[in-house]
Amino acid sequence: MKEDVLTVGSKAAHSMTPLERRAALSLASIYSIRMLGLFMLFPVISLYQDRLIGATPALIGLAIGIYGLTQGLLQIPFGLLSDRIGRKPVILMGLGLFALGSIVAAMSDSVYGVIAGRALQGCGAIAAAVMALAADLTREEHRTKAMAMIGMSIGSAFALALVLGPLFDHWLGLSGLFWFTAFMAVLGMLVLTWMVPNPVSQRVHRDAEPVPAQFAQTLRDTQLLRLDVGIFTLHMILTASFVVFPLVLQNVLGVDSARHWWIYLPILLLSVLVMVPFIIIAERHRRMKKVFLGAILFIGLAQLGLALWYQHLWLAVLMLLVFFSAFNLLEASLPSLVSKIAPPASKGTAMGFYSSSQFLGAFLGGSLGGVMHGQFGYSSVFILCAALALVWLILASSMKDPRYLNSYLLNIGKVQPGQAAHLSAQLTAVTGVAEAIVIVEDRVAYLKVDSKALDEEALLQYSASDQDS
């Protein structure tokens, strides 16, 4: 998803170089390959409840969500490890673990083997390392474009997975699907080796990766914690729902599993069209909180509607459309809110905890959804999700209205430590700049700006790349 960030450089450097474009596109392809492999199993695993040895609804739910546990726990440590041993070795190791997990699951005919394989897939927690490598390979003024390409690949992978998952399952079966994801992981390793450039230098990028010294401060920020709870709940609801979505389509509504993509594809396309006007209202007309709370409300109403009407095809399809429209809106809005709220030099750390919360929510959602389905049936899972949305709505209603500020990176070049405070004051005095933090060792100023009021020409005077052009 596109993050709410602006960057600046010289007027001669407004375009990405061929090397930067190659780096961004190849890293986006690696990210999407991994996410496609994780998500393609979402719409099909629950259909194997009667075909996997030892399977129960609870264990199927665990198989769906277990990747989130290992992913959530290892993502930040792997990112920190990449600072020590290099980005590419960590990414290769992560893709290797993902491939190994896929092979373990492909060779298993029991639910326990599938669970072990999915857990190993999640151990390939390369997100932070990929973002850090993208930052190493792009200049500050173009880093947002690279991050946006990677972000959009995630949403595209999810939508594509819901369509391809049922199709590939029909053609290849569950084992074949896992073999396919293993092949895709190996393909990603080849792309990393042959297509992704080697960075000239490597350093910590506070806007793109977690910084341990900022952990305590970030975890004490109640506004950021609300957003972490929000993405945790959203993916908890999503994963719990997919414990029963495919079963409802097949067993209740009579839609053959090979044709489930007939339902998912038009719903996903329409949901994007529904989402776009609300994104415009939220961002351009500065109604973020109202749109955000409205989307949470509709998530809950859609789940309640599914609990009541899942036995009626067109009503169920309508509720799915409402759900995915609200889901896509929240998936796009939450990172934007993190970017607006996080201190300018702590965005990478804030996004690290946010992303970990997302995966841990997927784990708990799959686990609880499986237990509820086994004990109380389909409708209980939808009721659980509606209740979770209600709790989230109550919690989110007390959030502060976000400041409509964008993150802004300024390459300041070499600055003496004693000049940092003075430069910060000068930058803050520029019209439209709300905050400025100069990090001497990074040679970057991390700013929060009002893009509508910003005097960009005045700000360009402090850009090292502009002065050198």
C-alpha torsion 375→379→382→388, nearest 10:
-60
In 3-state terms, what secondary structure has residue 169? helix
Please check whether residues 236 and 374 belong to one and the same domain: yes
Domain that holds residue 192: 1-205
Element (H, E) at 444: strand 444-449
Number of domains in the chain: 3
Span 399-434, pLDDT tens digits: 888 888 877 888 888 888 888 888 989 999 999 998
The secondary structure of residue 7, as a DSSP letter, is E
In 3-state terms, what secondary structure has residue 8? strand
Mean pLDDT in order along the chain per 10 residues (469 residues): 39 69 91 88 94 96 96 93 93 96 97 97 92 86 79 86 94 95 95 91 80 92 95 97 96 95 95 92 88 97 98 96 96 88 87 94 97 97 98 94 82 84 90 88 85 85 62
Please check whether residues 167 and 274 belong to one and the same domain: no
Residue 110: strand pairing partners: 53
Compute the distance between CA of residue 465 and CA of residue 469 in angstroms, rounded to an integer. 6
pTM of the model: 0.91
Q: Which of 145, 179, 205 is the last residue of a domain?
A: 205
Please check whether residues 111 and 246 belong to one and the same domain: no
Please check whether residues 464 and 449 belong to one and the same domain: yes
Compute the distance between CA of residue 137 and CA of residue 10 in angstroms, rounded to an integer. 18
Please check whether residues 274 and 156 belong to one and the same domain: no
Please check whether residues 334 and 433 belong to one and the same domain: no
The secondary structure of residue 344, as a DSSP letter, is T
Q: Which of 350, 376, 402 is the last residue of a domain?
A: 402
Compute the distance between CA of residue 407 and CA of residue 436 in angstroms, rounded to an integer. 10
Span 306-339, pLDDT tens digits: 999 999 999 999 999 999 999 999 998 998 899 8
Residue 399 has a CB neighbour count (10 Å cut-off) of: 18
Please check whether residues 358 and 418 belong to one and the same domain: no
Please check whether residues 82 and 165 belong to one and the same domain: yes
Distances (CA, A) of 147 to 143, 224, 247: 6, 20, 36
For the residues of 128-161, what is the DSSP string, one character each? HHHHHHHHHTS-GGGHHHHHHHHHHHHHHHHHHH
Please check whether residues 396 and 277 belong to one and the same domain: yes
Q: For residue 406, which phi and psi values (nearest 5 degrees)?
A: -110, 150
